[in-house]
């Protein structure tokens, strides 16, 4: 039998849902790694606390701390289980000074987006309306106007999506045992592109069969470096989910 392997790529920023209801509370510590994925405490960089605001309310305030206890971020949600941001999201430098202040409405930038250098100098000043950028100014460390550059740039495979599809189709091998058994389907694999562009933490989030799962892991793990994501001009890690379709003909 011949086979065809196709793929569809999509970006998914990963956060882990927490299903707690009731009065205003502070949860137990939830440990996170550099990509803000949930891990055990021995592998953690941060911990997260969730405060629900009012009886039976979905409205919440989420604090993420460095293990030292220093604040990394505070984010307001109107519906935390569905991760709907409404209100202010603030991030901090590891010195404790504010790094960014962003206003959200239904998960869209809406209002002010400001970022700051560690010395307190304003770095970026933007205004948004329902996710649409209205105006933007960027500043140097000394407070002078400088060339504007995007706040967010997604990680990308060298050559773009077509090059990624070509790499997958050229390098993936349909396992003989799976082909003989007529096993086919879509494997969903999640991975991190770290701030160096390296692929790490590949894992299956929707399995078809170990034969196909393992091949999907192999081809993604061996794909080489990406161009890393950037946030406010700084290299940043980014999470991806990649569905890979195995089909026999």
Residue 22 belongs to some domain of the structure = no
Residues 160 and 205 grouped into a single domain:
yes
Residues 46 and 131 grouped into a single domain:
yes
* 39 token code pair: 């891990």
Residues 140 and 100 grouped into a single domain:
yes
Give yes or no for a contact between 66 and 46, defined as CB atoms under 8 angstroms apart: yes
- Structurally, the chain folds into a number of domains equal to 2
CATH of the domain at 238: 3.30.2420.10
Residues 210 and 126 grouped into a single domain:
no
User: What is the structure's pLDDT at 27?
Assistant: 61
Ranges under pLDDT 50 in the chain: 1-24
Residue 194 belongs to some domain of the structure = yes
State the burial class of residue 237 (Cβ atoms within 10 Å of its Cβ: 0-12, 13-18, 19+). Answer: buried
DSSP string for the chain: --EEEEE--EE----------SSS-BPPPEEE-TTS-B--GGG-SEEEEEEE-STT---EEEEEEETTS-EEEEEEEEETTTTEEEEEEEEE-TTSSEEEEEEEETTEEEEEEEEE-TTS-EEEEEEEETTEEEEEEEE-TTS-EE----SEE--B-TTHHHHHHHHHHHH----HHHHHHT--EEEEEEEEE-TTS-EEEEEEEE-S-HHHHHHHHHHHHTS-PPBPEEETTEEE-EEEEEEEEEEE-
- CA gap 224, 130 in Å, rounded: 37
pLDDT 10s digits, 39-55: 899 999 999 999 888 66
Distance of CA 17 to the CA centre of its chain: 14
Backbone φ, ψ for residue 147 (5° rounding): -60, 130
Residues 68 and 136 grouped into a single domain:
yes
Residues 182 and 237 grouped into a single domain:
yes
Residues 191 and 84 grouped into a single domain:
no
Residues 191 and 216 grouped into a single domain:
yes
User: What is the structure's pLDDT at 190?
Assistant: 95
Q: Is 114 left (phi over 0), alpha (psi -120 to 50) or beta?
A: beta
pLDDT 10s digits, 129-174: 999 999 999 999 999 999 999 999 999 999 999 999 999 999 999 9
Residues 164 and 133 grouped into a single domain:
no
Residue 174 belongs to some domain of the structure = yes
Residue 16 belongs to some domain of the structure = no
Residues 72 and 58 grouped into a single domain:
yes
Boundary of a domain, candidates 92, 122, 150: 150
Residue 144 belongs to some domain of the structure = yes
Residue 95 belongs to some domain of the structure = yes
Residues 143 and 160 grouped into a single domain:
no
Boundary of a domain, candidates 100, 134, 150: 150
* 227 token code pair: 């161009």
- Domain hosting 186: range is 3-11+155-248
Residues 89 and 165 grouped into a single domain:
no
User: What is the structure's pLDDT at 81?
Assistant: 87
């Amino acid at each position: 039998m011949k086979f065809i392997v196709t793929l569809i790529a999509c970006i998914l920023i990963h956060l882990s849902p927490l299903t707690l209801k009731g009065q205003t509370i502070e949860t137990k510590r939830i440990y996170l790694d550099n990509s803000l994925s949930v891990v055990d405490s021995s592998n953690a960089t941060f911990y997260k606390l969730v405060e629900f605001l009012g009886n039976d309310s979905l409205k919440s305030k989420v604090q993420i701390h460095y293990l030292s206890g220093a604040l990394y971020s505070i984010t307001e949600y109107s519906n935390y289980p569905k991760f709907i941001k409404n209100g202010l999201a603030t991030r901090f430098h590891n010195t404790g000074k504010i790094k960014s202040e962003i206003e959200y409405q239904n998960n869209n930038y809406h209002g002010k987006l400001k970022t700051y250098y560690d010395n307190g100098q304003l770095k970026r000043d933007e205004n948004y309306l329902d996710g649409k950028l209205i105006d933007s100014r960027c500043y140097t460390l000394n407070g002078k106007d400088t060339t504007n550059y995007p706040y967010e740039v997604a990680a990308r495979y060298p050559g773009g999506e077509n090059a990624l599809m070509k790499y997958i189709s050229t390098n993936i091998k349909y396992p003989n045992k799976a082909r003989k058994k007529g096993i086919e389907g879509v494997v969903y694999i999640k991975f991190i592109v770290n701030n160096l562009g390296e692929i790490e933490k590949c894992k299956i989030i929707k399995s078809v069969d170990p034969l196909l799962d393992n091949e999907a892991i192999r081809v993604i793990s061996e794909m080489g470096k990406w161009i890393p994501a950037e946030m406010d001009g700084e290299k940043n890690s980014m999470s991806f989910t990649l569905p890979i379709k195995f089909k026999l003909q």
